[in-house]
Amino acid sequence: MNRRHIVVISGGSAANSLVDVFGKVAEDRGCFLSYVIPISDNGGSSSELIRVFGGPGIGDVRSRLVRLIPEDPTGANTEKSALKAFFNHRLDSSPQAARHEWLEIVEGHHSLWNHITSPKRELIRSFLNTINLEIVKRARPTSVFNFQSASVGNLFLTGARIFTGSFEAAIYLLGSITGVKDNVEVIPAINSNFSYHISAGLRDGTVIVGQNNISHPIAPSSIPTEPVSPRTHSRKISFDMLEHDKVEDANLPGSLPTLRKQNIDFRKEDTEGLSSPIDRIWYINPYGQEIRPSPNSRVVDALDDASCVIFSIGSLYTSILPCLILRDVGAAIADPKIRFKILILNGCLDRETPEYTAKEFIGAIVRGCCGNESITEADQIKEEEWKKYVTHVVFLEGPGTPNVDRAELRRLGIEAVRVYGRRVGSDSSGSLNVAKPESSEVVKSAGDKTIMSIITEGISDATKTPVDSSAGMLYDGAGLGRALEAILGGKGDKSRRNTLIG
């Protein structure tokens, strides 16, 4: 059976910078391209939608859908640009001003409607009116919807989900209205009308509840593992729950207070480090108990038809792992019929992965894939078996990037491919991080060129200047695309061994 799928596992904003690269690789090979996106995000405006309506965290899904809206390079199709601006728009940061702006949009008076044709405008408005009606119906003295910084795209998807009763129908509707290509699909990791949250266990025993609190908290969120007085601790938890239970919203009585908070205001930068490295991620019910959800059946179907899986850049534990720890996903990825399992290593380190090496990134992915059925199995898997889950690592080299021990990865049967990028904050013409390859960097042949010669092609000697930046590096789209093409087998190579869909 010919496998005609490239599956990209990622979160939202970080991987958006690589969407054009993935799209070109898939298009050149005549492949379907599937993005698997987690639904455990409970930060930003998604947190308010979850609080009032329940349902999945839709921010990352919306972000990817809007990024996939085709652009007209000539600028002749103004509606495409208008639709992208519309679904990307956030309301004012003032709650009162945001509410006023929202009513202008719903009533059809806002300037965002300019250049959107009447049929599409009225279709979109119908779903915005659906969510607006629900907002009014659910208003209570103790709970009213906060429009502060709300995403119009998130509000549309929620309205469409409530109207149709299906999250995937809402995704299909947004993709159809905006003209997302037929060979590209966005698949939520879990297909549900309910909320799914995650917890992180640190090596020192601390448990952190909620994705937002793991990656960029706005308040302390850990559950004390050794309270000074169990009786006092129990009373405090009960008091907090009692206070939250007075608020009539979509949360079940007795739900963990930290899952019921508004997380509209948060900063992804300048967050405190974790008290200890993350040991494990798992899903929880509203009361904090561990659960093991099944994935969206379309995720497994896409993997069953895949010849390549890409673990994209983004938050390791809150974007990638929530997709991998679902039942059956790890087994599907381990299938040897998927020939290429490529980890694109982050260009910088963050709160979740301080001082991580490439090997530690791989280890976390492997444990996530194995641990969805048995925690014991995840702990016992041998390093020699890691190549069943990751076959290649693509990485940048420079200040602030994860360390890559290529000899160690080679010992594990994992090929490491270095590509060139630019420092954070530079434009596309900024200095690129390039070091001349050593002989050991020739990792694979592709026709009469090596991977290293392919990915350096077209870069002048004048740009081969090391950069000094502690903030990390950004991938160069052209260089990354050439690296992926070389790994998967060059175009025109008729060898079954070197073709993606063979």
Q: What pLDDT is recorded for position 430?
A: 44
Domain coordinates of the chain in residue numbers?
Answer: 5-38+295-498, 45-188, 197-292
pLDDT of residue 3: 75
Closest CA to 323 of 68, 34, 50, 62: 34
Angle, vertex CA 496, rays to CA 490 and CA 502, nearest 5? 90
Q: Please report how many Cα atoms fall inside a 13 Å half-sphere around the Cα of residue 120, on the Cβ side.
A: 19
- Buried/exposed code over 94-109 (b: 16+ C-beta within 10 A; e: otherwise): ebeebbebbeebbeee
Q: CB neighbours of 151 closer than 8 A, spacing ≥ 6?
A: 44, 45, 46, 59, 62, 88, 89, 90
Which tens digit of pLDDT belongs to each residue from 242-269? Answer: 555 566 666 778 888 888 777 666 555 5
Give the model's pLDDT for residue 305: 96
Tens digit of each residue's pLDDT (9 = 90 or more) over 451-477: 433 333 333 333 333 323 357 899 999
CATH number for the segment(s) 5-38+295-498: 3.40.50
Q: What digits encode the pLDDT tens for the residues 193-240?
A: 999 999 999 999 999 999 999 987 765 545 544 443 444 444 555 555
* Torsion 105-109-111-115 (CA) sign: positive
Query: pLDDT by residue (tens digit) across 13-60?
Result: 899 999 999 999 999 999 999 999 999 999 888 999 999 999 999 999
Q: Quote the tokens at residue 361.
A: 């990134």
pLDDT for 317-337, tens place per residue? 999 999 999 999 999 999 999
- Tally of residues, the chain: 502
Q: Which residues pair with 417 in a beta bridge?
A: 394
Q: Tell me the C-alpha distance between 307 and 335, whole Å.
A: 10
For the cut 90, the answer to whether the pLDDT of residue 114 exceeds it is yes
Using DSSP bridges, classify how beta strands 415-418 and 392-395 pair: parallel, antiparallel or unpaired. parallel
At 59 the pLDDT is: 96
Handedness of CA 347, 349, 350, 353 (dihedral sign): positive
Task: Please return the burial class of 265, using the count of CB atoms within 10 Å of its CB with bins 0-12, 13-18 and 19+.
Answer: exposed
Distances in whole angstroms, Cα of residue 41 to Cα of each of 189, 282, 413: 12, 14, 34
Q: State the Cα–Cα distance between residues 341 and 357, nearest whole angstrom.
A: 18
For the segment 397-421, the average pLDDT, to the nearest whole number, is 96
What pLDDT digit, counting tens, does each position of 136-180 carry?
Answer: 999 988 889 999 999 999 999 999 999 999 999 999 999 999 999
The pTM assigned to this predicted structure is 0.86
Written as six digits, the tokens of 215 are 């990656």
Residue 73 pLDDT: 76
CB 57 within 8 A of CB 32: no
Average pLDDT over residues 367-394: 84
- What pLDDT score was predicted for residue 245? 59
For the chain, give the percent of residues with pLDDT over 70. 78
Are 89 and 112 in contact by the 8 Å Cβ rule? The answer is yes
pLDDT at 500 over 60: no
Please tell me the distance from the alpha carbon of residue 315 to that of residue 428, in angstroms, as a whole number: 24
- 194 alpha carbon, distance to own chain's centre: 19
> What's the confidence (pLDDT) of residue 284?
97
pLDDT in tens, 261-308: 776 665 555 567 899 999 999 999 999 999 999 999 999 999 999 999
